[in-house]
Amino acid sequence: MEQAEQQLSEIKNNIAKIQQNMAAACKRVGREPSSVRLLPVTKTVPAERLRIAYAAGCHDMGENKIQEAREKSEILNDLNIKWSVIGHLQTNKAKYLARFAHEFQALDSLKVAEELDKRLQIEGRAMDVYVQVNSSGEASKFGLAPEDVHAFVANLPHYSSLRIKGLMTLAIFSNDHERVRECFIKMRTLRDMLRQEAPANLSFEELSMGMSGDYEIAIEEGATVVRVGQAIFGKRPLPDSHYWPGLA
Ligand SMILES: *Cc1c(COP(=O)(O)O)cnc(C)c1O
């Protein structure tokens, strides 16, 4: 019990600190703090600890693997969690996503769009969707090449159960802040173009970018959603190369 209390206050403190940093980043560029959403990323965090996170105010949770997200959503189905799947999806897993997820941030193929739309119609629901773009050009990252996004987006009005909200990206993993910032600027520029030119009924207001190491830079460059895991829950036991194979 005492341990749970300690975990609760730890998570609360971490979130408060991140929110302060987020507000400061907004202030530096003249944005409203309410224009950025914090999406806690819960991969590898056990379900029982997520109960504590929920009590600490995390009601949205991001998972990058569908299987892990599904298991947790079943264990925690007594809580009103909005699950966001933020990692690559195989077409044959779209049926599971359609059943429990609130949001999908990693759309990068028309096959997945088609199957997800079909499964959502069977379930009688719609889903918020972000198109994932590979802004760094690294082979280890999923997502469309920026130059392919326009043609891709032109097909999306066909899938009436997908509520297209915006773009998602992972910046280059680098200690060189300017190279990270360039990825975010590229995404904002692309989003702004899509706002002008995208087909009717698609919305490109949202930009999901920024993680524990770079969310402040992302906010300075226009992020409306930041996906933060380790800064809330502590370091993961497995290295990033487990999640992004091919990474040095
Ligand atoms: C794990 C993950 C994050 C969060 O990374 P942290 O370093 O834990 O903040 C963000 N986005 C995606 C797609 C992830 O898989």
**Could you tell me the CA-to-CA distances from 47 to 43, 54, 82, 205 in Å, in that order?**
10, 10, 14, 32
Indicate which residue's Cα is closest to atom 8 of ligand 1: 229
Domain of 189: which CATH number? Answer: 3.20.20.10
Q: Each residue of 177-206: pLDDT tens digit?
A: 999 999 999 999 999 999 999 888 899 999
**Does a structural domain hold residue 215?**
yes
Count of domains for the chain: 1
Q: Sorting pLDDT into bands at 50, 70 and 90, what band is 239? A: confident
Contact of 66 with 97, CB cutoff 8 Å: yes
Q: Sorting pLDDT into bands at 50, 70 and 90, what band is 236? A: confident
Ligand 1 atom with the shortest distance to the CA of 236: 8
234: Cα separation from own chain's centroid:
18
Helix axes 47-55, 66-75, angle to 10 degrees: 70
**Does a structural domain hold residue 131?**
yes
The predicted structure's pLDDT at residue 245: 63
Q: Choose one of 41, 42, 134, 207 to mutate for the ligand 1 pocket test, by most ligand atoms within 8 angstroms of C-beta.
A: 41
**Does a structural domain hold residue 189?**
yes
**Does a structural domain hold residue 239?**
no
The predicted structure's pLDDT at residue 21: 98
- Strand, coil or helix: what is 193? helix
Indicate which residue's Cα is closest to atom 14 of ligand 1: 64
Q: Is the pLDDT of residue 240 over 90?
A: no
In whole angstroms, give the CA distance from residue 103 to residue 112: 14
In whole angstroms, give the CA distance from residue 133 to residue 127: 19
**Mean pLDDT of all residues in the chain?**
95
The predicted structure's pLDDT at residue 246: 56
**Does a structural domain hold residue 73?**
yes
Query: Where would I find the beta strands (DSSP E) of 50-92?
Result: 60-63, 82-85
Instruction: Tell me the two tokens of residue 169.
Output: 């990206």
Q: Is the pLDDT of residue 243 over 90?
A: no
**Does a structural domain hold residue 23?**
yes
Contact of 120 with 161, CB cutoff 8 Å: yes
**Does a structural domain hold residue 241?**
no
The predicted structure's pLDDT at residue 238: 74
Residues 103-115, mean pLDDT to the nearest whole number: 98
Q: Sorting pLDDT into bands at 50, 70 and 90, what band is 210? A: very high
The predicted structure's pLDDT at residue 87: 97
Looking from the CA of 3 toward its CB, the CA atoms found within 13 Å total: 2
Q: Is the pLDDT of residue 32 over 60?
A: yes
Structural domain span for residue 118: 2-233
Ligand 1: distance of its center to the CA of 41 in Å?
6
Contact of 240 with 173, CB cutoff 8 Å: yes
Indicate which residue's Cα is closest to atom 11 of ligand 1: 227
The predicted structure's pLDDT at residue 248: 43
- CB of 210 within 6 A of ligand 1: the answer is no
**Does a structural domain hold residue 68?**
yes
